[in-house]
């Protein structure tokens, strides 16, 4: 017998998990957090086995998959939550959630002892950095070399392959160390994307945004996109800058130009992103100011011209967005824009942006 709990507007998610514990499942997960941390698996919970997920690959638009007998957290008050239920996936649609579903033509995954729920979503990541995990466990976020920081080690040494002193405002600083190349080859970026995406899928983070600050050449960009596609995860590829070594003979194409499909965002839009109805979609990190030096259009205009979502860093710089809001070329509909690292903004800056912010 399957029990459907009251609508989520009544109990909290914590209440649901406690109730689910009567079946010896999710309640054990709450009580056993310290057990999980120690490496022991709580009684009643298990991970999917290779047999459970065999053959679950291919064109998702043509598949019917039945998730059978799991504790279902729908996160939808219209559907409700179940102590035990089946979920039928028909192509890209969750077709039915019910205590028992008859679907003889569907591939069946035994979900007994597991929680079935929508995947988590990350709104910001630099997935190429997955290969550097724990490289500076005691490092700081900000600070110049010789301090070991995210900026000096991860960004300067392992991304750009050079360390540059801070220059006077508006002028480049002096290069104090240069590897002579970017550390990552395109193959490295492909592997990094697979590690990052598959690792997150295994933790239930099925959707995300990758601000890809390693677009050092067209080959680097292509490798990252292909890694995302091959992982099978739903990701927004936020096309971002890289290290420009064109003076050393390395081709560099970021950001591209309006009406140009031979380089930059125009090239990848034409090559990989013909539709928004696909697992990997196109974003753009260009800002609300000029798309590049001398451009008579903004980065947002450039990205939008190729159908990209806009995803901008806003680290301690609310005035950058306030200035963008004052530029009529950026329009009044900002529903396609996400601001990242906006935690240091002041209320008056947000107020200046008004209803256009997302």
Which of 71, 99, 118 lies at the terminal end of a domain, its last residue? 118
pTM here is 0.80
**Residue 58 lies in domain:** 13-118
How far is 181 from 249, CA to CA, in rounded Å? 11
Query: Are the CB atoms for 126 and 210 separated by under 8 Å?
Result: yes
In this structure, the answer to whether residues 63 and 199 fall within a common structural domain is no
What integer pLDDT is reported at residue 40 of this predicted model? Answer: 47
Give the model's pLDDT for residue 328: 94
Same-domain status, 150 and 114: no
Domain count for the chain: 2
pLDDT of the residue at 325: 87
186 and 332, same domain (yes or no): yes
| Count of C-beta atoms within a 10 Å radius of residue 37 | 8
Is residue 329 situated within a structural domain?
yes
The CATH number assigned to the domain holding 27 equals 2.30.40
Residues of the chain below pLDDT 50: 1, 8-10, 16, 19-42, 357-358
In a domain, 141, yes or no: no
Same domain, residue pair 234 and 91: no
Say if CB 340 and CB 313 are below 8 A apart.
yes
Give the whole-angstrom CA distance, residue 257 versus residue 298.
Answer: 11
Per-residue model confidence (pLDDT) at position 50: 61
* Cα 244-250-254 angle, rounded to 5 deg: 45
Structural domain includes residue 203: yes
Q: What is the pLDDT of residue 55?
A: 59
- Do 172 and 106 fall within a single domain? no
Residues 262 and 352 in one domain: yes
């Amino acid at each position: 017998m399957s029990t459907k709990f009251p609508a989520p507007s009544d109990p909290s998610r914590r209440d649901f998990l406690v109730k689910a514990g009567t079946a010896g499942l999710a309640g054990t997960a709450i009580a056993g957090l310290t057990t999980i941390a120690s490496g022991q698996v709580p009684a009643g919970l298990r991970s999917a086995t290779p047999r459970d997920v065999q053959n679950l690959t291919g064109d998702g638009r043509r598949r019917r998959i039945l998730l059978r007998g799991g504790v279902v957290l729908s996160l939808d008050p219209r559907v409700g939550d179940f102590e035990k239920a089946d979920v039928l996936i028909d192509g890209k649609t969750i077709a039915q959630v019910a205590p028992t579903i008859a679907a003889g033509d569907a591939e069946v995954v035994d979900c007994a002892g597991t929680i079935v729920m929508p995947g988590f979503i990350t709104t910001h990541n630099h997935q190429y950095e997955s290969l550097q995990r724990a490289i500076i466990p005691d490092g700081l976020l900000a600070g110049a070399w010789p301090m070991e920081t995210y900026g000096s080690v991860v960004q300067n040494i392992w991304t750009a392959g050079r360390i540059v002193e801070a220059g006077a405002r508006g002028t480049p600083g002096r290069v104090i160390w240069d590897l002579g190349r970017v550390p990552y080859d395109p193959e490295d970026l492909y592997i990094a994307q697979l590690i990052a995406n598959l690792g997150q899928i295994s933790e239930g983070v099925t959707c995300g945004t990758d601000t890809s600050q390693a677009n050092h050449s067209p080959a680097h960009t292509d490798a990252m996109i292909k890694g995302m596609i091959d992982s099978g995860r739903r990701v927004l590829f936020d096309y971002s800058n890289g290290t420009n070594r064109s003076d050393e003979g390395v081709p560099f194409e970021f950001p591209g130009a309006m009406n140009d499909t031979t380089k930059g965002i125009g090239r990848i839009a034409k090559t990989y992103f013909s539709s928004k109805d696909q697992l990997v979609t196109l974003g753009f990190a260009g800002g609300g100011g000029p798309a590049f030096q001398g451009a008579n259009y903004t980065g947002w205009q450039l990205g939008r011209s190729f159908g990209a979502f806009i995803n901008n860093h806003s680290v301690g710089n609310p005035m950058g967005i306030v200035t963008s809001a004052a530029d009529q070329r950026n329009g009044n509909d900002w529903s396609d824009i996400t601001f990242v690292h906006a935690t240091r903004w002041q209320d008056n800056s947000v107020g200046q942006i008004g209803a256009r912010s997302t």
